[in-house]
Amino acid sequence: MKKSQNLKRIKMRIKTGDLVKVINGKEKGKTGEVLKIFPFENRLVVKGINFRTKHLKPTQEGENGKIVTEEASIHASNVMFFSKDKNITSKIEVFIDKDGVKKRRLKKTGELID
């Protein structure tokens, strides 16, 4: 992304530590925990999903070259929150309870997340 472009933070309802299920792409049907979120790019890193291999060159100190596999980011539109208790995927809605505190809940079942 160019520096001159206006960066816009996207409101993401999925947080670090949530369990998500991939609903689109080559990893479709797999579930994993969210490790990292990039709100300006609308992407996230999910544990055990979307592995990429990276080839590292040998260094002058005598280390040999390596092949490293790591999780790459996936677009937020390709994942959905997954509830282990109900075994269901659902959208998340943010609401304000009677105490004035923002909370998250599932739209399908009304189950509280936080």
| Cβ atoms of residues 60 and 79 within 8 Å | no
Confidence of residue 87 (pLDDT cuts 50, 70, 90): very high
pLDDT at residue 11 in the model: 86
Residue, of 70 and 4, whose pLDDT is higher: 70
Half-sphere exposure of 10 (CA within 13 A, CB side): 15
Mean pLDDT of 72-101: 94
| Rounded CA separation 12/64 (Å) | 41
Q: Is the pLDDT of residue 45 over 80?
A: yes
19-84: which CATH topology? Answer: SH3 type barrels. (2.30.30)
DSSP per residue, 67-102: EEEEEPPEEGGGEEEEETTTTEEE-EEEEE-TTS-E
Q: Which residues contact 110 (CB under 8 A, 6 or more apart)?
A: none
